[in-house]
Amino acid sequence: MKVFIRLLLMSLFVTSIFNASNSVAAGEANSSNTGNIRDGAYFDIGLGYRYKSDPFLFDDEPNGSGLALFANGRYQKYGLFIELPRGTSKQQSTIISFGYNFLNTENWSYDLQVAMNHPQLEHQLPISKDVSTRISHSKLGLRVLGDFNNTHLKLIAAAASGGDGLYASAWLSQNYQFYNWNFYTSAGIEYRNEDVVNFFYSINEVEGLPLYKGKSGYEYTGQVGFDYPISEDWVFEGFMRGTLLPRGISDSPLVDGNSIIEAGILVKYVL
C-alpha cells in the first residue's frame, strides 16, 4: 500500500506540474481574468426522513429511522475556502473543512485541505462505566477534483488521527439526466493505515474488553440517488448508500458487523 500511495502522490505531482504549465500559458493568453474560477458561495439545507444501520456498538449517531437535517455548503474567496459537507453524499467524514484552492485547469482542481478523515467515536467502558472518546482531529491533505461533463473524480491523500496516520481515497461519480430528473451513481474506495485503525478501534487490556489490535485496510462505498427541482429554490432528493468495512475495523470488539446501510428522502432549500 505504501508503494500505491507513493505512486499516487507522484502521479498527482507530475499532473500538477503539467497542468500548472498549461494554466500559466492560459493565464498569459488571458491576463485580464485574474479571479479564481471556483470563487463563490453555495448552501442548501433540507429536512427529511433517514434510515441508518451501522455495526458500531458505541456511536454518537444512533441507528434507526426518523427525521434528519441535511446541510451542504461551500464558500470560497481568493482561493481560500470553507466547506460544510453534511448533505446526502458523505465522501469524507468531516463536519467542516477548510483550505486553499491553489490550481485550476480545464478539467482539474487542486486543493490543500484540512479535514477530519474519520468520524469521532465513543464507547462506555464495561467496568468503570466511563465514556472513552476517540476524537477525530483535522489534518492537512491534498485533494484533486476532476470534472469531465457528467463524470466526476475525487482523489485524496492526507494525514489522519493516530500517530503516523495515513488516509487515501478515490471516488468516481456519474450523472444521468432524464427530463428534469437527475440520477447519479458513485463508488469509492478508502484506505486507512494501521495507525488510524488502532487509534479508533484498538482495545487495551485495562478497558475491560478483549485486547485488540487492528490492521490497515480498505473500505468500499456505493451510492445511488436522484434529485428533482420542485421550483427555482426547492429540490426533492433521495439516496441509498452502502459501505463495506475492512476486517481491521469489523473484527474490533467495538463493532458488530461489517456493513453500513443508509437511505433518505428529503426536500431541501437552495440559497
> 133 falls in which pLDDT band (50, 70, 90)?
confident
Please report the pLDDT score of residue 28 as a whole number: 42
In this structure, the strands spanning 151-160 and 165-178 are antiparallel
Question: Across residues 2-11, what is the average pLDDT?
Answer: 49
> Could you count the other beta carbons within 10 Å of the beta carbon of residue 217?
20
Q: Are 179 and 232 in contact (CB under 8 A)?
A: no
pLDDT (tens digit per residue) in 162-203: 889 999 999 999 999 999 999 999 999 999 999 999 999 998
> Taking 60 as the threshold, does the pLDDT of residue 4 lie above it?
no
What is residue 53's three-state secondary structure? strand
Cα separation, 43 vs 256, whole angstroms? 36
Please report the pLDDT score of residue 13 as a whole number: 54
Q: How far is CA 48 from CA 27, 76, 100, 239, in A?
A: 45, 28, 32, 11
Average pLDDT, the chain: 86
The class that CATH gives domain 2-31+39-270 is mainly beta
Please report the pLDDT score of residue 92 as a whole number: 73
Please report the pLDDT score of residue 170 as a whole number: 97
> Taking 60 as the threshold, does the pLDDT of residue 25 lie above it?
no
Give the H/E segment covering residue 85.
strand 80-86
Percentage above 70 pLDDT, the chain: 84
pLDDT (tens digit per residue) in 82-132: 999 988 887 777 888 999 999 999 999 999 999 988 888 887 777 777 777
Please report the pLDDT score of residue 30 as a whole number: 41
Residue 248: which of 188, 180, 211, 201 has the closest Cα? 201
Selected residue with higher pLDDT from 34 and 231: 231
Cα separation, 9 vs 220, whole angstroms? 21
Cα separation, 268 vs 225, whole angstroms? 14
Please report the pLDDT score of residue 32 as a whole number: 41
Question: Across residues 14-30, what is the average pLDDT?
Answer: 46
Q: How far is CA 210 from CA 57, 137, 206, 246, 253, in A?
A: 14, 26, 9, 19, 7
pLDDT (tens digit per residue) in 200-225: 999 887 667 788 999 999 999 999 99
Residue 182: which of 128, 233, 127, 239 has the closest Cα? 239
> Taking 80 as the threshold, does the pLDDT of residue 268 lie above it?
yes
